[in-house]
Amino acid sequence: MDIKQNICPKCGRPTEEGLCSSCRVEETKWMICQPRVQCTQCPTCGSLKTGSIWTDSHLEREDLIGELAMSGVKLHEDVEDIKVTLSHHDPTPNRTSVKVTVKATLYGIHVEQSCNILIVWIGEQCDRCSRLSGNYYAGVIQVRADGRKPDDWEKERAIEIAYTVEDSCQNSGDRLSFITKTEETKDGVDIVISSHTIGESIAKEIKNRLGGKYSRHPKLIGEKNGKQVYRITYPVRLPKFRRGDILEINREYFELRSNESGNMKLFDLQNGEIRYVNENEPARLVGNILDSETAFVAYRENDTFGMLDPKTYVNIECIRKPWLEVTEGNEVRFIRDREKDTIILLG
């Protein structure tokens, strides 16, 4: 043996410095396990509680057990090439016993160790489910329309927008912003919400998507922790014209395609172009495409065609619009402007 070569002071084997690898492994407590791990979980939605904070969890039970078991295992910082195997069983409904086996490398030596960790399950209803089950609400969004009742499409669209906003709140971690319920009324639809944050967001988004305006009406209902508590009503007033309405503006006819952010998207029934007009522009309501009629095209000569009035069976001669394809023997839709005793071709 080279006189300059170091030897392990414990076993006498050659080593570069200090203890040899085998003796260092023997002296190192490289794996420490907690005997118990506690998990508080909502039995309704599966969310988890850490301290006083609830967080959503989308883990499957097997993955959650593995994550909880490994939270009770601490490995030495020099451990490398780690391989973990888990096996578990449930001795009681609220207990899971997990055997954790770790195979790894420490100072170039293969090591292996096992331990048992008991997961204690505690069922507790989370803050969100507690509010849901108690029908808690912080406000109501009342979707109505100016001078009319919202149609089915508008009511369905308003509810769809509301749930989209709810998804956005939940995805951003705002667990307590949710829709408690929605219900149709004789004048529109009510959306009951759990927080002022989601109420403001939904009302604003409905207004942006469907047009109109909204306001806020708070009502003091008491105090909590020294702070005043309000419930807020958000009246959302949709514009007086709805999608599919046939409008006369400046002696021209248009079909209303949408109304967003105060601007009406119009289809020009004369030349087929799309135009945008402020929702406050003076307009006369002629009808809606839902009220349209269908007529048989009896003949066509160049841009002139004749159609049979479905009520009187009298031939009505019309000029074809540039955007409208008309074929003899087919049908064409139209709506009557009774105020001016004329018809408006719709396609």
pLDDT digits (tens, 9 = 90+) for 169-188: 988 888 889 999 999 999 99
- pLDDT of 4 > 60? The answer is no
The band of 13, judged by pLDDT with boundaries at 50, 70 and 90, is confident
- The pLDDT tens digits of the residues spanning 87-127 come to 999 999 899 999 999 999 988 889 899 999 999 999 999 98
100 within 8 A of 114, measured Cβ to Cβ: yes
Q: Is 23 helix (H, G, I), strand (E, B) or coil?
A: helix
Kindly list the distances between the CA atom of residue 347 and the CA atoms of 88, 322, 325, in Å, as whole numbers in the listed order: 68, 11, 8
- Residue 1 has a pLDDT of 43
- Residue 291 bridge partners (DSSP): none
* Report for 53-62, 104-113, 154-163, 218-227: range of highest mean pLDDT: 154-163
167 within 8 A of 177, measured Cβ to Cβ: no
Give the whole-angstrom CA distance, residue 254 versus residue 273. Answer: 10
The token pair at 40 is: 């508080």
- Which ranges constitute the DSSP H helices of 172-296? 196-210
Of 175, 198, 197, 178, the residue nearest 49 (C-alpha): 175
- pLDDT of 53 > 90? The answer is no
- Residue 276 bridge partners (DSSP): 265
pTM greater than 0.75 (yes/no): no
Q: For residue 285, count other CB atoms closer than 10 A to its CB.
A: 15
Give the whole-angstrom CA distance, residue 216 versus residue 148. Answer: 21
Of 332, 99, 134, 139, the residue nearest 220 (C-alpha): 139
Kindly list the distances between the CA atom of residue 308 and the CA atoms of 41, 200, 297, 314, 324, in Å, as whole numbers in the listed order: 70, 52, 7, 6, 17
The token pair at 7 is: 């030897």
Report CA torsion sign: 128, 133, 134, 139.
positive
DSSP state of 236: E
Q: What is the residue-averaged pLDDT of the chain?
A: 90
Give the whole-angstrom CA distance, residue 241 versus residue 238. Answer: 8
The token pair at 182 is: 């929605």
- The pLDDT tens digits of the residues spanning 225-264 come to 788 888 999 999 998 888 899 999 999 999 999 888 778 9
Can you point out the beta strands (E) in 194-320?
Answer: 213-214, 217-224, 227-238, 245-249, 252-260, 263-268, 274-278, 284-288, 293-301, 304-308, 315-319
Q: Is 210 helix (H, G, I), strand (E, B) or coil?
A: helix
Give the whole-angstrom CA distance, residue 83 versus residue 78. Answer: 14
- Residue 187 has a pLDDT of 93
The band of 5, judged by pLDDT with boundaries at 50, 70 and 90, is low
- The pLDDT tens digits of the residues spanning 141-156 come to 999 998 889 988 899 9
